[in-house]
């Protein structure tokens, strides 16, 4: 009976052709659902954003101070006591700051709950969440810039506009507004890190 294989040039029998495909080891199978360790940084950053925006909105919203001044008329030399109250709601930039931080707080809490409830399908949410997170960062930097500008004038005044500084007199109020701005900036940084993590994860899945 004739052999199925033809001899090679050296007289030996050539081996049969290998199959066109190779099976992938079970250990290298791609998992569609990310592990908890991969999702944990996102949970921490969104949880931090929830806490930071909530506190910053509260601190800015309740910021106020009452001060009593004694004013002397240089002509009559009569003294008069005046009591004044300053609130964050008197400045449009501070009101805008509170509104944006409340909106971001609601968004952060909602997205955190969604990502925890949909751990298996979290990879499908990364792209739309990254786009929404980018808009959140823009809004946070916008309101923080507006509030910082108002606080800068309150701390140093504006000579060209004839606005005097008053933080040297109303230190408690200025301390509250500055603390709220710092907390909101930290929330913006958390969202910036979320965007970076989302881009890295999307890049890894595209390889």
Quote the pLDDT of residue 84: 76
Tokens linked to 118? 């949909």
User: pTM (2 decimals)?
Assistant: 0.75
Quote the pLDDT of residue 7: 52
Cα-based torsion angle of the residue sequence 107, 112, 115, 119 in order, rounded to the nearest 10 degrees: 180
Tell me which DSSP letter residue 81 carries: E
Quote the pLDDT of residue 26: 44
Quote the pLDDT of residue 101: 97
How far apart are the C-alpha atoms of 83 and 78, rounded to whole Å?
A: 17
Contacts of 60 (CB under 8 A, 6+ apart): 88, 94, 97, 98, 101, 147, 176, 177, 180, 181
Quote the pLDDT of residue 36: 58
Quote the pLDDT of residue 140: 96
In which residue are the tokens 């005097």 written? 164
How far apart are the C-alpha atoms of 96 and 147, rounded to whole Å?
A: 8
How far does Cα 195 stand from its chain's mean position? 9
In which residue are the tokens 């916008």 written? 142
Q: What's the N-to-C CA distance of the chain in angstroms?
A: 52
**Residue-wise pLDDT tens for the chain (207 aa)?**
455 545 554 545 545 544 444 444 444 444 445 555 567 888 899 999 999 999 999 999 999 888 876 767 667 767 778 787 888 999 999 999 999 999 999 999 999 999 888 877 666 777 788 889 999 999 999 999 999 999 998 888 777 766 777 788 888 999 999 999 999 999 999 999 999 888 887 777 766
């Amino acid at each position: 009976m004739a052999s199925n294989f033809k001899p090679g040039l050296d007289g030996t029998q050539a081996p049969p052709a290998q199959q066109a495909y190779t099976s992938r080891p079970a250990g290298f199978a791609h998992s569609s659902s990310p592990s908890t360790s991969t999702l944990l940084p996102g949970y921490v950053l969104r949880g931090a954003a929830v806490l930071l925006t909530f506190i910053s909105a509260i601190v800015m919203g309740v910021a106020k101070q009452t001060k009593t001044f004694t004013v002397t008329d240089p002509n009559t030399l009569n003294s008069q006591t005046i009591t004044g109250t300053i609130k964050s709601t008197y400045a449009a930039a501070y009101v805008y700051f509170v509104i944006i931080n409340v909106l971001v707080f609601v968004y952060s809490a909602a997205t955190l709950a969604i990502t925890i409830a949909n751990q298996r399908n979290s990879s499908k949410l990364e792209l739309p969440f990254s786009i929404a997170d980018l808009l959140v960062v823009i809004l946070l930097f916008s309101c923080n810039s507006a509030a910082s500008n108002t606080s800068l004038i309150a701390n140093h005044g504006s000579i060209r506009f004839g606005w005097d500084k008053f933080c040297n007199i109303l230190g408690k109020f200025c301390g509250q507004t500055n603390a709220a701005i710092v907390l909101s900036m930290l929330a913006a940084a958390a969202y910036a890190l979320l965007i970076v993590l989302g881009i890295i994860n999307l890049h890894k899945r595209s390889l």
